[in-house]
């Protein structure tokens, strides 16, 4: 069995002070993918790079205090790939991929388009380019798990206030269609939904900092572990951890009946 965790930290140093790495050391996870580290490599200390027997691999954004992804593992990867072969988004530290003996795992932070029309346009460029990433991953003989904050809620049951967000970034028809095509046309597996096709309130992974959204559970499911088709029948368990609050996102934990 392989246990993989995905968590948007909204700042790796902030999450550390809130106990994320203490919790991580108790999870028995094989791989932990993190997003939005908001740190340069020089900012990271040993407690960030080697917590609880894990080794971390990171791709930071060029802009300080912005974006960036990481991946932790107790098993040394055969290879680590930094970026997604796109200069615009590699400058923002959007993807890191680790290849292991039996599996490939990536940590990805999709852009948000909520701040401006320019950023929404950038998000659509990212989605367009990601077709090349899917093509490359689908050519691999090993199973692949793409973890991260995708910044898209797929269906109405994936956010509390869906009627009020039909014209907002993260729930636009084009975005929902894109992620639907990933599942229906490309055959990737939304691992959480594979086990819980109808779950609503318990599925959310992100809550706005406004209006007591977390306390009222007015959330969105925008964090995914998307698995290649050859893992379709290998998803054993999936859960969103809300026992502690490390960030405005909650960690997504998925177990696979497949070796790392």
Rounded alpha-carbon distances, angstroms, from residue 154 to 70, 159, 173, 183, 244: 25, 9, 9, 10, 26
Size of the chain in residues:
260
Annotate 108-148 with DSSP letters as a single string.
EEPPP-SS-HHHHHHHHHHHHHHHHHHHHHHT-SS-EEEEE
Which DSSP symbol is given to 159?
B
Active site includes 149? Answer: yes
Burial of 243 from C-beta contacts in 10 A (0-12 / 13-18 / 19+): exposed
In 3-state terms, what secondary structure has residue 69? strand
First to last CA, the chain: 8
Q: Strand 69-73 vs strand 55-59: parallel, antiparallel, or unpaired? A: antiparallel
The residue to which tokens 């890191």 are assigned: 96
Residue-level pLDDT at 114: 87
Q: What is the pLDDT of residue 211?
A: 85
Q: How far apart are CA 79 and CA 98, in angstroms?
A: 6
Q: Spell out the residues 6+ positions from residue 164 whose beta carbon is closer than 8 angstroms to its own.
A: none
Residue among 149, 158, 190, 255 flagged as catalytic? 149
The tens place of each residue's pLDDT in the chain, 260 residues long, gives 999 999 999 999 999 999 999 999 999 999 999 999 999 999 999 999 999 999 999 999 999 999 999 999 999 999 999 999 999 999 999 999 999 999 999 999 999 998 899 999 999 999 999 999 999 999 999 999 999 999 999 999 999 999 999 999 999 999 999 999 999 999 999 999 999 999 999 999 999 998 899 999 999 999 999 999 999 999 999 999 999 999 999 999 999 999 99
The per-residue pLDDT for 119 is 96
Architecture of domain 2-256: 4-Layer Sandwich (3.60)
Question: Residue 65: which of 7, 14, 11 has the closest Cα?
Answer: 11
Domain ranges of the chain: 2-256
Helices (H), the chain: 12-17, 20-24, 46-49, 87-90, 117-138, 173-184, 191-195
pTM: 0.97
Tell me if 74 sits within 8 A of 105, measured CB to CB.
no
pLDDT of residue 203: 97
């Amino acid at each position: 069995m392989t246990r993989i965790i995905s968590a948007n930290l909204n700042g790796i140093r902030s999450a550390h002070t809130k106990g994320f790495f203490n919790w991580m050391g108790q999870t028995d996870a094989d791989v932990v993918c993190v997003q939005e580290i908001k740190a340069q490599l020089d900012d990271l200390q040993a407690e960030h790079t080697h917590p609880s027997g894990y080794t971390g691999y990171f791709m930071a954004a060029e802009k300080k205090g912005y974006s960036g992804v990481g991946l932790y593992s107790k098993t040394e990867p055969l290879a680590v790939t930094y970026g997604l072969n796109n200069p615009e988004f590699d400058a923002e530290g959007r993807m890191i991929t680790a290849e292991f003996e039996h599996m490939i795992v990536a940590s990805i932070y999709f852009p948000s388009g909520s701040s401006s029309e320019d950023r929404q346009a950038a998000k659509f460029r990212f989605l367009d380019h990601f077709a090349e990433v899917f093509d490359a991953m689908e050519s691999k003989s090993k199973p692949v798990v793409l973890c991260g904050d995708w910044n898209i809620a797929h269906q109405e049951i994936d956010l509390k206030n869906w009627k009020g967000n039909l014209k907002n970034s993260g729930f636009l028809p084009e975005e929902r269609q894109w992620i639907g095509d990933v599942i229906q046309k490309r055959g990737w597996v939304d691992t959480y939904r594979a086990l819980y096709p109808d779950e609503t309130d318990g599925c959310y992974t992100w809550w706005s900092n406004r209006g007591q959204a977390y306390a009222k559970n007015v959330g969105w499911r925008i964090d995914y572990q998307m698995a290649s088709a050859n893992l379709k029948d290998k998803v054993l368990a999936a859960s969103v951890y809300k026992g502690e609050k490390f960030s405005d996102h909650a960690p997504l934990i998925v177990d696979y009946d497949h070796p790392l």
